[in-house]
Amino acid sequence: MFARVLASRGGLLLVLAAGLAMPLAFAPFGWGWIAPLALAVAFAQVAASPRRRALLGAYLFGLGYAGFGVYWIFISVSRYGGGDVAAAVVTPLFIALFALYPLVALALGRRVGAGRPLLTTIVALPAAWLVVEWVRSWLFTGATWLSVGYTQIDLPPGALAPLLGLYGVGLVVCALAGSLASLAIRPGAGAAAAVVVTGLLYAGSGTLAALDWTAPVGEPLDVAMIQGNVPQDQKWLADQRVETLRHYAQASRQHYGTPLIVWPEAAVPAFYHRVEDNFLAPLAEEAAEQGSTIVTGVPVVDPVEDAPFNAVAVLGDSPAFYYKRHLVPFGEYVPFRDWFGAALDFVGAPMGDFEAGAKPRPLQADGVTVGASICYEVTFGPLIADALPEAEVLLNVSNDAWFGDSLAPYQHLEMARMRARETGRPLLRATNTGITAAMDARGEVLAQAPMFQRTALATTVQPREGTTPYVRWRDWPVVALVMIVLAGAWFAARRRGRDIFH
């Protein structure tokens, strides 16, 4: 009965609704249980429908998923890029392109399953979804935004993060979705057994939360993170620079004596060498006399490489720098500038093209080894893991003012929480407008500042040492598993017969 509904034109509306529901599984809503249900609808519709309707349904699912999940692209471009007209062009194009990923995943799973309902829903579609999620994490510079594993950060499968990472968590979600889809379109003992097994796996994975993969080291670290709340459209104005620097200095003085004081990404709205002698060096000396070290985001022109970098700097007599390694297209550089010149700057022109750093460069701050990252970098698990096992604390400085009061800052924080859980390290997140927060090694938020306020978040984290299995092996065990499963499903399906829905 349900299979006939899904295979009908009405099934297209149902799968579009499922796509629109998917972002509700992510922050700030946090209804993670929606993810396997919504994916189950998509899997079932693709497996039960004739080929063309299945592909249309897959794309509609992706349009709903991306349309609600990343609508904030419009805010970024309209307010801080080329205006409303540019945003009206870029946003639908971006959503239409993003929707291709679910389409490719679902089409691949259907093709691999060759019309065998149980094989397609239980095996091929879950494996194909995870393969495509992994591919999009590096293809065209990569993006892990809206990967299904993030939806489980507070649910039982989240405990798999230090063992198998984001995609291991996502695999459990997809497996449950596949078994539910199989039961919906072809009820029977096999499908029911699959639901029981994957349901137990989903619920039982939470028992791993009792394991401690890392251990405390040293004394707890007191931290103050300054949230400047500088409007993005004023941030780089020359006549606002003195006021911005004055605010950060005054806010920091109120927390002198705190070992670590952190400013957000590009809190210093000028290249480091231009304000080093008359502002940063004297302030660092003053803070050191009071027992504090200041760490800030600041653009830097490297004297050796003679190139600009988006950086994190530990201020002091011998300043140390981390250079951002994964840059944001159109935010920090314009792709194909040699071909198009400034023609693409309307999307969101940067202050100038930055270069990408080459090394993780863990930093020393108040005797603690810090694994630094900048903004979007925190969405990439392997990149954050590069700083381990040396790093005892993770630090992410960010500026989410680009997103306004949308879903994006909450989604960004959720991804940072996953990195803390994968690595077994506390994570400090200092932002310009929010969400400034501190997380423990299990990804639990210890303290959080209100958004869009000038404030300082004072908190304490416990440095940790040790290596989680994820840090050691990264994504490769899960990627290898789903590749093998996908290949096995392909050969199994072709031994059994042709596509019965062709």
For residue 324, is it within any domain? yes
Whether 492 and 457 map to the same domain: the answer is no
For residue 502, is it within any domain? no
User: What is the per-residue pLDDT for 352?
Assistant: 58
Whether 396 and 481 map to the same domain: the answer is no
Q: Which DSSP category does 279 fall into?
A: I
Q: Which residues contact 65 (CB under 8 A, 6 or more apart)?
A: 19, 20, 22, 23, 98, 99, 102, 146
Distance between CA atoms of residues 119 and 488, nearest Å: 10
Contact 285, 340 (CB under 8 A): no
* 45-104 residue pLDDT tens: 999 999 999 999 999 999 999 999 999 888 888 877 678 888 888 899 999 999 999 999
Whether 432 and 483 map to the same domain: the answer is no
Is 30 buried (19+), middle (13-18) or exposed (0-12) by CB count in 10 A? middle
Number of H helices, E strands in the chain: 19, 14
For residue 187, is it within any domain? yes
User: What is the per-residue pLDDT for 335?
Assistant: 60
For residue 240, is it within any domain? yes
CB atoms within 10 A of CB 439: 27
For residue 328, is it within any domain? yes
Question: Three-class SS of residue 278?
Answer: helix
For residue 501, is it within any domain? no
Question: Three-class SS of residue 310?
Answer: strand
Query: Among candidates 209, 130, 139, which has minimal Cα distance to 175?
Result: 130
Distance between CA atoms of residues 465 and 222, nearest Å: 18
User: What is the per-residue pLDDT for 314?
Assistant: 97
Whether 303 and 195 map to the same domain: the answer is no
Torsion of CA 402, 403, 409, 411, to 10 degrees: -120
Query: Among candidates 188, 201, 190, which has minimal Cα distance to 156?
Result: 201
What CA–CA distances, in Å, run from 381 to 261, 313, 352?
25, 22, 27
Complete DSSP assignment for 112-141: HHTT-HHIIIIIIHHHHHHHHHHHHTTGGG
Question: What is the domain count for the chain?
Answer: 2
Query: Among candidates 220, 209, 215, 182, which has minimal Cα distance to 198?
Result: 182
Does the predicted TM-score (pTM) go above 0.95?
no
Whether 481 and 399 map to the same domain: the answer is no
Is 120 buried (19+), middle (13-18) or exposed (0-12) by CB count in 10 A? buried
Is 458 buried (19+), middle (13-18) or exposed (0-12) by CB count in 10 A? middle
Residues in the chain predicted with pLDDT less than 70, given as ranges, are 1-3, 5-7, 81, 330-352, 496-502
Helix axes 73-80, 84-98, angle to 10 degrees: 150
Query: Among candidates 436, 444, 456, 27, which has minimal Cα distance to 265?
Result: 436
The secondary structure of 156-206, three-state, reads HHHHHHHHHHHHHHHHHHHHHHHHHHHHHHCCCHHHHHHHHHHHHHHHHHH
**Which region, left, alpha or beta, applies to residue 165 given φ > 0 means left and ψ of -120 to 50 means alpha?**
left
**Which region, left, alpha or beta, applies to residue 400 given φ > 0 means left and ψ of -120 to 50 means alpha?**
alpha
For residue 232, is it within any domain? yes
Token digits of residue 425: 């390290």
**Which region, left, alpha or beta, applies to residue 352 given φ > 0 means left and ψ of -120 to 50 means alpha?**
left
Whether 156 and 191 map to the same domain: the answer is yes
Question: Residue 345 belongs to what domain range?
Answer: 215-467
Whether 487 and 452 map to the same domain: the answer is no
For residue 325, is it within any domain? yes
Query: Among candidates 55, 36, 403, 426, which has minimal Cα distance to 194?
Result: 36
Q: How many residues does the chain have?
A: 502
Whether 143 and 234 map to the same domain: the answer is no
Question: Three-class SS of residue 474?
Answer: coil
CATH number of the domain within which 353 lies = 3.60.110.10
Whether 278 and 311 map to the same domain: the answer is yes
Whether 178 and 221 map to the same domain: the answer is no
Helix axes 125-136, 100-113, angle to 10 degrees: 140
* 187-201 residue pLDDT tens: 888 889 999 999 999
Tokens 């480091």 correspond to 272
Contact 364, 391 (CB under 8 A): no
Task: Give the residue numbers marked as catalytic.
Answer: 265, 324, 375
User: What is the per-residue pLDDT for 399?
Assistant: 92
Whether 301 and 152 map to the same domain: the answer is no
Query: Among candidates 58, 48, 69, 57, which has minimal Cα distance to 4?
Result: 48
Whether 378 and 412 map to the same domain: the answer is yes
User: What is the per-residue pLDDT for 1?
Assistant: 59
Token digits of residue 402: 């680009």
